[in-house]
Amino acid sequence: MADRDQSEIGGEPLLRFRDDQPHDEPAVTLDAFLADQTPEPSGATAVRLEAGDDARALLPHLDRLALIEVSFPTFRDGRGYSAARILREAGYSGELRAAGDVLVDQLPLMRRCGFDSFAPEAEIDAATLRRSLSRYDYRYQRGADPIAPVWKLRGG
Amino acid sequence: MKLLTGNDLATGDVTWWTGSGWSRHVEDAADVGADGEAIARAEEGARRVNVPYVIDAAATPDGPRPAHIKDRIRALGPTVRPDLTLKPADPQAGSWVI
Amino acid sequence: MYRYDHYDQSIVDARVDEFRDQVTRRLSGQLTEDQFKPIRLMNGLYLQLHAYMLRVAIPYGTLDSRQMRMLGSIARDHDRGYGHFTTRQNLQFNWIKLEETPDILAKLATVEMHAIQTSGNCIRNISSDQFAGAAADEVADPRPWAELIRQWSTFHPEFSYLPRKFKIAVIAADEDRAAMRLHDIGIQLVERDGLLGARIYVGGGMGRTPMIAPLIRDFVAADDLMSYLEAALRVYNRYGRRDNIYKARIKILVHEIGADAYRAQVEEEFAAVKQLGLDPPAAELARITAMFAAPPFDPAAPAEIDRTDPDFALWLDQNVRAHKAPGYSIVTISLKPVGGIPGDATADQIDLVADLAERHSFDELRVTHAQNLVLPHVRTSDLHAIWQQLADAGLAEPNLDLATDIIACPGLDYCSLANARSIPLAQKLSERLAPVQHNLGELKMKISGCINACGHHHAGHIGILGVDKKGTENYQLSFGGSGAEDVSLAKITGPGFDEDGVVDAVERATDTYRTLREPGERFLDTYRRVGMQPFKEAIYG
């Protein structure tokens, strides 16, 4: 996993935890993406999920997608965490981006749900983020990341 | 009259806007008229108060008396623990609340 | 009881460091109150009427003397010499300074305690039966399962921004001492074909729209439980309502789509997540269970007891319950002195109870959802000495489950959400009913100062809800609720009362009960048999 890579897309700051280049094709809506599947798809490879969209609708198409952007309209709306888990559990390995009202204290949880790129509305303080991501040495439960839960470590 | 009240950010103490600063005692509270919201924004921005809000109150010979029981309890302290209120020695303090 | 290993300790220590960082950012203005609020709430820190309030987690209501003494010490050094035990089996400090909170959490961490997820829209402290491990009627000790769920739910990456708060209770007996079916998820451990598993109820709760949780799954094996809970929570996180805070609890989702549809969605999700290896191996439950092994009871402990002191005998009959081990007893310490503040304990009382637990109860204590304390494993021959010390400290009120054993939320004396005061009403009712309480028998009285129902008024044999009526306190009276295995929701009697009016109304209702009751009937039983009408006539007639 690459170190945090700070770049920009369309003037917005972007935090990435991937080795590949940021995907710069504009994301289409879920409805537009699904409508385009028949008879001859135009080949969109980036989709934006709104908080209420059903991530499962994308499961048949994951191998075609390079970027899925999940919207967080407010930091209190946690539906995107489940969307991320569902996509990763189904084997999606492309870029998974949390966009919108994404706060520094949420990034560790989002990372655990499988997000590997972030387009926060407000700037995130680099030092706070560094502390935040390195603070916990252990996790109680399995997430979408490869970290072994403590019950696994206890088992030896 | 209108009062501006909130809590101290660091300690949580109930505070009242005096016209020039903040006091723990409602007796010191000043009528903010129509300026409450503006003062609240400035003071909250400067972190001299947390969660400020404007309330209605009546002017009495003993000082301002908040219109709502919740703010009267905030001004005094818990009615069930007179020893922990701002007027532990005043046996009549509770009746001021009700 | 459970002991942290270095993994648990490391996680709790990291949380202290994280919260210290968050408080620093708030005090320096990097975080607005709007951003900080969910962060502090997820660590149990509220801003109440007079100060910050810190809710300390007491997982499944179990603690030892060292932890209890730390609570007493924090009460002295950082609060005003007392704490308040809650209906979630937790403890609240009412006079906390934000700037001191990181140090308080650091002290708690030295005794394996924390305030993690005692508020916020996340999975809250797991509650359980206060008699766990001591009761004769349990199929197993529910606490190892509760601990397994505590660990799974701690900083759960997917379920920290749920639509609303989420409460889970685990019990293991048919007698429900934890209001299990009034939780978002209620779990009853049951045996099937010699195997222990979980019976799952989902969608109960009190609050503005009280509901009794329907049965969603009859049996979940231990090694499927985390996957099943993951599925149950995921359906809620995705489809629970976020447009209206008052309709955001899982009970509304289950009610709106129906238990069958909810069950089907969970099963579908469960089939998918079961493949992911989320469930700890049996060895982990075994590791935890070993820490809850029964203490070394003395098989020769005498069971005889000298009942010649009538005051002691009264307390024995009311506050002491049979233990599964011969020669031992379960003692409930009432935090409901007549006319007192329900659930409050001074630092000195906290210390005394810690001493008693250390000397007489294998160093174990419990907190009950009815805001009392329990010494779970007491030698019957020690009871008299314990009773004397409790009586000297004002802790021997013989009123367990009687009319003065009132549950009351902090109400408008402390709480920023409250519409009316709960405590002064509890005090007046307690004084009024004390002379007749033994005659009245079991009578569960519960008072909430607002619609959020922290005082469990929906589950009261007599429930009282404080409301704001044009700026004055008004109280709605209701009858017929129960949080026990005969769970039911209370019904409102009619128009509300002022404080003195509701005390009079309760007395007229209990008088009516005394007139109408048949032998062996509790207030609740009589009410269920005769209905509301005779009570209504007595109160309003």
Mean pLDDT by 10 residues, chain B (98 residues): 98 98 97 97 97 97 95 96 93 84
CB C324 within 8 A of CB C380: no
Which of C29, C47, C418 is nearest residue B12 as measured by Cβ atoms?
A: C47
For residue C221, what is the enclosing H or E element? Answer: strand C215-221
Q: Closest by alpha carbon to C517, among C505, C507, C509, C525?
A: C525
Q: Closest by alpha carbon to C107, among C82, C77, C64, C150?
A: C77
Q: Say if residue C516 is in the same domain as residue C482.
A: yes
Are C154 and A125 in contact (CB < 8 Å)?
A: no
Are C471 and B9 in contact (CB < 8 Å)?
A: no
Q: How far apart are CA C208 and CA C281, in angstroms?
A: 40
CB burial of B18-39 (b: ≥16 within 10 Å; e: otherwise) equals: eeeebbeebebbbebeeebeeb
List of chain C residues whose C-beta atoms are within 8 Å of the C-beta of residue A140: 11, 151-152, 154-155
From chain C, which residues contact A within 8 Å (Cβ)?
5, 7-8, 10-11, 14, 17-18, 21-22, 25, 30, 35, 38-39, 121, 151-152, 154-163, 226, 234, 237-238, 242, 272-273, 276-278, 280-281, 283-284, 287
Tell me the nearest-neighbour CA distance from B91 into chain C, angstroms: 16
Question: What pLDDT score was predicted for residue A13?
Answer: 77
Question: What pLDDT score was predicted for residue C243?
Answer: 95
Tell me the nearest-neighbour CA distance from A12 into chain C, angstroms: 20
Are C226 and A141 in contact (CB < 8 Å)?
A: yes
List of chain B residues whose C-beta atoms are within 8 Å of the C-beta of residue C99: 10-11
Q: Closest by alpha carbon to C63, among C75, C72, C76?
A: C72
Label residue C441 left, alpha or beta by phi (over 0 means left) and psi (-120 to 50 means alpha). Answer: left
The tokens of A38 are what? 């028949």
For residue C169, what is the enclosing H or E element? Answer: strand C168-171
C79 burial via Cβ count (<10 Å: 0-12, 13-18, 19+): buried
Q: Say if residue C67 is in the same domain as residue C171.
A: no
CA A78 to mean position of chain CA atoms: 13
Tell me the nearest-neighbour CA distance from C419 into chain A, angstroms: 26
Mutation site, A115, A130, A150, A153, interface C, largest C CB count within 10 A: A150
In chain B, the number of structural domains is 1
Domain hosting B69: range is 2-97
Domain boundary (C231, C255, C289) is at: C289
Q: Say if residue C201 is in the same domain as residue C248.
A: yes
Question: What pLDDT score was predicted for residue A4?
Answer: 47
pLDDT, averaged across chain C: 97
Mutation site, C31, C50, C468, C498, interface B, largest B CB count within 10 A: C50
Question: What pLDDT score was predicted for residue A3?
Answer: 44
Domain boundary (C330, C364, C392) is at: C392
Quick: pLDDT tens for C98-112.
999 999 999 999 999
Are B79 and C97 in contact (CB < 8 Å)?
A: no
Q: Closest by alpha carbon to C176, among C488, C400, C522, C486?
A: C486
Q: Quick check: helix, strand or coil at residue C500?
A: helix
Domain boundary (C79, C110, C141) is at: C110
Mean per-residue pLDDT, C495-502: 98
Q: Say if residue C170 is in the same domain as residue C215.
A: yes
A35 burial via Cβ count (<10 Å: 0-12, 13-18, 19+): exposed
Pairing label, strands C62-63, C185-192? unpaired
Q: How far apart are CA C228 and CA C25, in angstroms?
A: 38
The tokens of C224 are what? 């499927």
Q: Closest by alpha carbon to C230, among C161, C170, C279, C182?
A: C279
Q: Say if residue C136 is in the same domain as residue C272.
A: yes
Question: What pLDDT score was predicted for residue C76?
Answer: 98
Q: How confident is the model at residue C240 (pLDDT cuts 50, 70, 90)?
A: very high
Q: Closest by alpha carbon to C488, among C541, C439, C525?
A: C525
Domain hosting C251: range is 127-289
Are A135 and C277 in contact (CB < 8 Å)?
A: no
Which of B67, B69, B80 is nearest residue C423 as measured by Cβ atoms?
A: B80
Judge A/B contact: 3 or more CB pairs < 8 A: no
Which of C33, C414, C473 is nearest residue B50 as measured by Cβ atoms?
A: C33
Question: What pLDDT score was predicted for residue A8?
Answer: 54
For residue C269, what is the enclosing H or E element? Answer: helix C259-273
* Sheet strands side by side (includes C407-408): C407-408, C445-448, C462-469, C472-479, C491-492
Question: What pLDDT score was predicted for residue A40?
Answer: 66
CB A51 within 8 A of CB A79: yes
Are C97 and B11 in contact (CB < 8 Å)?
A: yes
pLDDT tens, position by position, for chain A (156 residues)?
344 445 555 556 799 999 999 887 889 999 999 988 766 666 889 999 999 999 999 999 999 999 999 999 999 999 999 999 999 999 999 999 999 999 999 999 999 999 999 999 999 999 999 999 999 999 999 999 999 999 999 986
Are B51 and C33 in contact (CB < 8 Å)?
A: yes
DSSP code for A147: P
Which chain C residue's Cα is nearest to A77? Answer: C161
Q: How far apart are CA C131 and CA C60, in angstroms?
A: 11
CA C317 to mean position of chain CA atoms: 24
Are C14 and A135 in contact (CB < 8 Å)?
A: yes
CB C355 within 8 A of CB C393: no
Q: Closest by alpha carbon to C115, among C61, C59, C64?
A: C59
Q: Is the pLDDT of residue C36 over 50?
A: yes
Q: How far apart are CA C292 and CA C138, in angstroms?
A: 14
Which chain C residue's Cα is nearest to A131? Answer: C18
The tokens of B72 are what? 């009267």
Which CATH number do you get for residue A43? 3.40.50
DSSP code for C294: P
Mutation site, C23, C27, C47, C49, interface B, largest B CB count within 10 A: C49
Question: What pLDDT score was predicted for residue B95?
Answer: 85
CB burial of A68-95 (b: ≥16 within 10 Å; e: otherwise) equals: bbbbbeebebbbbbbbbbbbbeeebebb
Residue C405's identity, in one-letter code, is D
Are A82 and C242 in contact (CB < 8 Å)?
A: no
Are C99 and B11 in contact (CB < 8 Å)?
A: yes
For residue C496, what is the enclosing H or E element? Answer: none
Pairing label, strands B63-66, C320-322? unpaired
Q: Is residue C294 part of a domain?
A: no
Q: Is residue C305 part of a domain?
A: no
List of chain C residues whose C-beta atoms are within 8 Å of the C-beta of residue B84: 80, 95
Q: Closest by alpha carbon to C462, among C384, C382, C408?
A: C408
Q: Closest by alpha carbon to C474, among C456, C458, C492?
A: C492
Which chain C residue's Cα is nearest to B66? Answer: C471
Are C155 and A140 in contact (CB < 8 Å)?
A: yes
Q: Closest by alpha carbon to C512, among C540, C492, C490, C489?
A: C540
C537 burial via Cβ count (<10 Å: 0-12, 13-18, 19+): exposed
CB B70 within 8 A of CB B64: no
Q: Is residue C397 part of a domain?
A: no
Per DSSP, chain B holds a count of helices (H) and strands (E) of 3, 5
Q: How far apart are CA B97 and CA B74, in angstroms?
A: 9
Tell me the nearest-neighbour CA distance from A145 into chain C, angstroms: 11
In chain C, the number of structural domains is 4
A155 at C interface, C-beta within 8 A: yes
List of chain A residues whose C-beta atoms are within 8 Å of the C-beta of residue C9: none
The CA radius of gyration of chain C, in Å to the nearest whole number, is 23
Question: What pLDDT score was predicted for residue A1?
Answer: 38
Q: Closest by alpha carbon to C185, among C155, C228, C224?
A: C228
Mutation site, A140, A145, A147, A152, interface C, largest C CB count within 10 A: A140
Percentage of residues of chain C with pLDDT beyond 90:
100
CB C377 within 8 A of CB C302: no
Tell me the nearest-neighbour CA distance from C406 into chain B, angstroms: 16
**Distance between first and last Cα of chain C:** 54
Q: Is residue C122 part of a domain?
A: no
The tokens of A130 are what? 């560094």
Which CATH number do you get for residue C38? 3.90.480.20
Quick: pLDDT tens for C242-257.
999 999 999 999 999 9
Which chain C residue's Cα is nearest to A72? Answer: C161
Which chain A residue's Cα is nearest to C276? Answer: A89
Mean per-residue pLDDT, C163-169: 98
Which chain C residue's Cα is nearest to B50? Answer: C33
Quick: pLDDT tens for C195-225.
999 999 999 999 999 999 999 999 999 999 9
The chains found to touch B (3+ Cβ pairs under 8 angstroms) are C
In chain A, the number of structural domains is 1
Domain hosting A80: range is 5-154
List of chain C residues whose C-beta atoms are within 8 Å of the C-beta of residue A138: 7, 10-11
ipTM exceeds 0.85, yes or no: yes
Are A150 and C277 in contact (CB < 8 Å)?
A: no
Mean per-residue pLDDT, C21-37: 96
Q: Is the pLDDT of residue C327 over 60?
A: yes
